[in-house]
Amino acid sequence: MPAAFAGPTSVSEPDVVGTPRKTYLLVDGENIDATLGMNVLNRRPNPEERPRWDRISAFAEKAWGQDVVPLFFLNATSGQMPMPFVQALLAMGYRPIPLAASGTEKVVDVGIQRTLDAIASRPGDVLLASHDGDFLPQIEALLDDANRRVGLLAFREFVNAQFSQLTERGLEMFDLEGDADAFTAPLPRVRIIPIDEFDPLRYL
């Protein structure tokens, strides 16, 4: 999958006079954590192995050169919230969104889908951190707006294959490790590496 990130762009033009354009960063934390554990590490991640969420929001800001609204979706169906983690997110500028299911629905997915639907009716660009194909209809709808930038931030090799087909329509693909530098140490990944991204020092 070709790399789409070529460094920061210039600051975006305002959507309307006096209103700077924003990037909405939507984080599917459960999906990122599950993919890291099951597909990359083959075990439950240790705290120090998880993404640095502050680096992810910083990347989202520089990717398109504009302010970011970082939203982090949490499953709070149990009635309990991981308060230390929530407080850490708040300190990093995120807006935690703890959701409780009323039945057996995938509550985080539903929350993100509804948010993507809501964004479709207003200006702003979208960066989704997830591998989940459940969001394909919403991402496709956002891509119908030729003036909107839409990106996916994930481990490229584990993204739902149908997302790669949307790059022809303008979907930008960013790698959590290679582009966003979201981890403090190299991950044990075996993946196709675009030659422009190859760093031999990682293997010496």
Domains of the chain as residue ranges with CATH: 27-190+199-203 (3.40.50.1010)
pLDDT in tens, 151-181: 999 999 999 999 999 999 999 999 999 899 9
Coil vs helix vs strand at 37: helix
The whole-angstrom separation of Cα 55 and Cα 59 is 6
Find where tokens 């993919």 sit.
35
Terminal Cα-to-Cα distance of the chain (whole angstroms): 25
Tokens of 179: 């582009």
Which of 143, 131, 124, 135 shows the shortest CA–CA distance to 24? 124
Find where tokens 């582009």 sit.
179
Contacts of 87 (CB under 8 A, 6+ apart): none
β 125-129/95-99 pair status? unpaired
Average of per-residue pLDDT across 119-145: 96
Return the amino acid letter for 111.
G
Average of per-residue pLDDT across 111-127: 96
Residue 127 bridge partners (DSSP): 25, 151
Residue 136 exposed, middle or buried by CB count within 10 Å (0-12, 13-18, 19+):
middle
pLDDT in tens, 9-57: 444 555 555 678 999 999 999 999 999 999 999 999 998 999 999 999 9
DSSP 13: P
The whole-angstrom separation of Cα 100 and Cα 141 is 26
- The Cβ of residue 78 has, within 10 Å, a number of other Cβ atoms equal to 8
The whole-angstrom separation of Cα 50 and Cα 35 is 11
